[in-house]
Structure 1
Amino acid sequence: MTIWILFAVMTGAAVMAVLWPLSRRPEAAGGPDADAAFYRDQIAEIERDMGRGLLSPREAEAARAEAGRRLLRSNAAVDHIVDKEGEPALRRRRAASTLALSIVPLLALATYGAFGSPGLPGRPATARAPADPAAMDLGQAVAQIEAHLAKSPEDGRGWEVLAPVYMRAGRFADAAKAYEAAIRALGGNADRYANLGEALVNAGDGVVSAEARAAFDKAVAADAAAPKAQFYLARAAEQDGDRAAAIGRYESLIAAAPADAPWLPLVRQRLAALQGPAVDIAAMPPADQSAAIRGMVEGLAARLEGQGGSIEEWTRLVRARMVLGEPDKAAAALAGARRALAGDPAALARLDALASSMGQEARP
């Protein structure tokens, strides 16, 4: 209630400040007293001039008569103004002031009642404060970005913003598609290719597929020191059983890494894991060594059959089968490679050369 009283007082004061001058009786500029004093001074000046001999008595009498006439005319003009703007006009102005003082606040209240919300309860400042951005619903934000990108698929920046969100949400396949869209719109660079490859690796349950390897190769071509791409290429060599290549990449990463690189402990862990088993295998009895090597080859074969791979990976598998004395499995791997790489004439030519070197028919 207090606030309404305050508003009423403020409104009344504003209206009165505007209308108060209209309620006062006007006065002639300078007022009648000022005019009388002026003409009295003029008559006194005429007397002084006559005393000094500057005016004759006749001239002085004429000047006094003229000053008197002007004084009478001035008083008549003032009376005319006062009569013209007299009591009836004054009453009209005062009535208009009173009407405005009452109508303006009432009109404002009526407008607020019609279009405002006087019945709405008050809200504390904390309730009116904007929501904490950190507490915003992530799913709702993603949906808004997706709706925008559905209308503007060429917005590469939007895809680049959305892809890491997909990664954090575990939507790795969607993240890979988002990175591909960003590369199409903005062009490829080391970071975008490396991020695409990482999304593909996560979508493939940790397996560095041929598609992911191609992305990492492009990242390294753009920046030979790209650490993420180098790390996953070392992982690819590790999965292929190429222990020496994996160790070489890990060691190069460690040598070039800043001392405070956040990924350095992980690289050292992977390198230690590779170097430790190598000593154990070398110290194993021949039968155990053969079993360990066969396990690595079987892992490579399972990955290539399930995920596919590059010509280098298939070649490595075929040769490993031959070294282990498994010509039938080597031929099966060769046939699988031809099926997987049927659309790549250059790869098929290399497979033919491999088959010839193995003493097999080029087309079994």
Structure 2
Amino acid sequence: MVIWVILMAMTALAVMAVLWPLSRHYAVSGQTDPNTQFYREQIAEIERDRERGALLPNEAEAAKAEAGRRLLRANSMKDVETFAVGEPALRRRRAVSTLALSVLPIVALAVYGAYGSPHLLSEPPGAQLQRQADKTDFGSAITQIETHLAKNPQDGRGWDVLAPVYLRMGRTDDAIKAYESALRYLGRDAVRLANYGEALVIARDGMVSAEAQAAFQEALDLDKSSAKARLYLARAAEQDGQIEKAKSEYQAILSASPPDAPWVSLVREQIARLDGKQPATAEAAEPQPSTDAIARMVSGLAARLETQGGSAEEWARLMRSYTVLGQRDKAVAAAKRARAALTQDEAGLRTIDAMAQELRLTDATP
């Protein structure tokens, strides 16, 4: 706020410096008037003519009297002109001065607000420059790490640092590759495997693929307390249609977690949803049966497999999910489409046949 007061004061001073001389009312009484000077010279000339004898005394007096009357008449006309012309001009100058002092600063501030950068004044000096520098430094740091890894691809620590950054930037495919490199050069520990699996899930729009499920299971084998791995494995069970198993997994996570763990509220909501109850955080929401949630996930999986294809494990999961929902005809149709999509994959065909036998989809048996 202080800067605005200073700017307005400076503007007012600049305007005053220009307009002050124009608004002053100079006294003219002390100045020599041209008419007065002319008539004084005329009277002096008459006096000289009288002294030389060119004019008689009475003629000289008459001439001086006439000159005096002209002088009085000229002074009277001057006063009228001063009042008639000078005063309005003075009033106009004062009006212009007042207008300039009040309007110009407002116009200047409005133009500055529209085309300038007033937000700079709301921040501490150098704050925006520092923020821009931070962004530049971040981008430069990423570029430097990428350049370093291009020359030293075996630097697992660099890949491990870069992977989560890629994930936050939305570069999911790059994050997956970075995690794979980190796992290759640094080893397969539980945290790194869980993060790698999470990147795979994000890439699949929330679907826990067989590859992601394997990563989570390996992470859990290495660390039984890995909450992230257990959460995603519970989701995988739910996506497979194994609702009771998913609920059991969520309950086990909740029992083993401290009350203030950040994932506790999420787990409770999942349990409430699978029980067909409304979440505690949205008591006014209409309850939705758990089968509806499963149906939506199965529909999404089916649409993706139809348009983009997928692995044999994902087709097998779709078959199982249809069976859980009681839609055996769709499970049979999914098995047939899977065989058509995996014609060149002998191992994949064996997986589909094994799932068809397990689910007793006799109509789907080749």
Bin the TM-score by the shorter chain.
0.5 to 0.7
Q: Tell me the amino acid that sits aligned with residue 218 of structure 1.
A: E
RMSD: 3.6
Separation in 2, partners of 1:151, 1:270: 46
Indicate if the aligned counterparts of 1:241 and 1:296 stay in contact, CA closer than 8 A: no
Q: CA deviation at 1:324?
A: 6.3
Structure 1 residues 177 and 324: CA distance shift in structure 2, 3 A: closer
Q: Please, what TM-score do these two structures have when normalized by structure 2?
A: 0.52
- Who is 2:139 aligned against? 139
Separation in 1, partners of 2:341, 2:223: 30
Indicate if the aligned counterparts of 1:321 and 1:327 stay in contact, CA closer than 8 A: yes
For the residue of structure 1 that corresponds to 2:258, the secondary structure is coil
1:333 aligns with 2:334: yes
For the residue of structure 1 that corresponds to 2:362, the secondary structure is coil
Q: CA deviation at 1:362?
A: 3.9
- Who is 2:352 aligned against? 351
Once the two structures are superposed, the pairs formed by residues 55-204 of structure 1 within 5 Å of their partners are 137-204=137-204
Structure 1 residues 307 and 251: CA distance shift in structure 2, 3 A: farther
For the residue of structure 2 that corresponds to 1:308, the secondary structure is coil
Separation in 1, partners of 2:340, 2:315: 11
What do residues 311-337 of structure 1 show as CA deviations (whole Å, max 9, x unaligned)? 3x5345335546767565333211233
Q: CA deviation at 1:155?
A: 0.1
- Who is 2:220 aligned against? 220
- Who is 2:310 aligned against? 308
- Who is 2:363 aligned against? 360
Separation in 1, partners of 2:300, 2:164: 30
Q: CA deviation at 1:272?
A: 2.3
Structure 1 residues 303 and 277: CA distance shift in structure 2, 3 A: farther
Indicate if the aligned counterparts of 2:312 and 2:349 stay in contact, CA closer than 8 A: no
Separation in 1, partners of 2:298, 2:363: 21
1:244 aligns with 2:244: yes
Q: Please, what TM-score do these two structures have when normalized by structure 1?
A: 0.53
For the residue of structure 2 that corresponds to 1:247, the secondary structure is helix
Q: Tell me the amino acid that sits aligned with residue 249 of structure 2.
A: R
Q: CA deviation at 1:156?
A: 0.1
- Who is 1:98 aligned against? none
Separation in 1, partners of 2:252, 2:346: 34
Q: CA deviation at 1:246?
A: 1.8
Structure 1 residues 202 and 292: CA distance shift in structure 2, 3 A: closer
For the residue of structure 1 that corresponds to 2:363, the secondary structure is coil
Q: CA deviation at 1:343?
A: 6.8
Alignment gaps of 5+ in structure 1: 1-125, 280-287
For the residue of structure 2 that corresponds to 1:225, the secondary structure is coil
Structure 1 residues 152 and 342: CA distance shift in structure 2, 3 A: farther
Separation in 2, partners of 1:302, 1:259: 39
Identity fraction in percent = 52
Structure 1 residues 144 and 291: CA distance shift in structure 2, 3 A: closer
Separation in 2, partners of 1:322, 1:238: 13
What do residues 179-224 of structure 1 show as CA deviations (whole Å, max 9, x unaligned)? 0010111111111111111112222222222222222122122223
For the residue of structure 2 that corresponds to 1:250, the secondary structure is helix
Indicate if the aligned counterparts of 1:250 and 1:271 stay in contact, CA closer than 8 A: yes
Q: Tell me the amino acid that sits aligned with residue 162 of structure 1.
A: L
Structure 1 residues 341 and 258: CA distance shift in structure 2, 3 A: farther
Structure 1 residues 231 and 343: CA distance shift in structure 2, 3 A: farther
Once the two structures are superposed, the pairs formed by residues 292-307 of structure 1 within 5 Å of their partners are 295=296, 297-305=298-306, 306=308
Alignment gaps of 5+ in structure 2: 1-124, 280-288
Separation in 2, partners of 1:289, 1:205: 20
For the residue of structure 2 that corresponds to 1:137, the secondary structure is helix
Indicate if the aligned counterparts of 1:240 and 1:300 stay in contact, CA closer than 8 A: no
Structure 1 residues 331 and 149: CA distance shift in structure 2, 3 A: same
Structure 1 residues 294 and 274: CA distance shift in structure 2, 3 A: closer
For the residue of structure 2 that corresponds to 1:192, the secondary structure is helix
Separation in 1, partners of 2:323, 2:209: 24
Indicate if the aligned counterparts of 1:239 and 1:300 stay in contact, CA closer than 8 A: no
Indicate if the aligned counterparts of 2:239 and 2:321 stay in contact, CA closer than 8 A: no
Q: Which structure is larger by alpha-carbon Rg, 1 or 2?
A: 1
Q: Tell me the amino acid that sits aligned with residue 302 of structure 1.
A: A
Structure 1 residues 196 and 291: CA distance shift in structure 2, 3 A: closer
Q: Tell me the amino acid that sits aligned with residue 211 of structure 1.
A: E
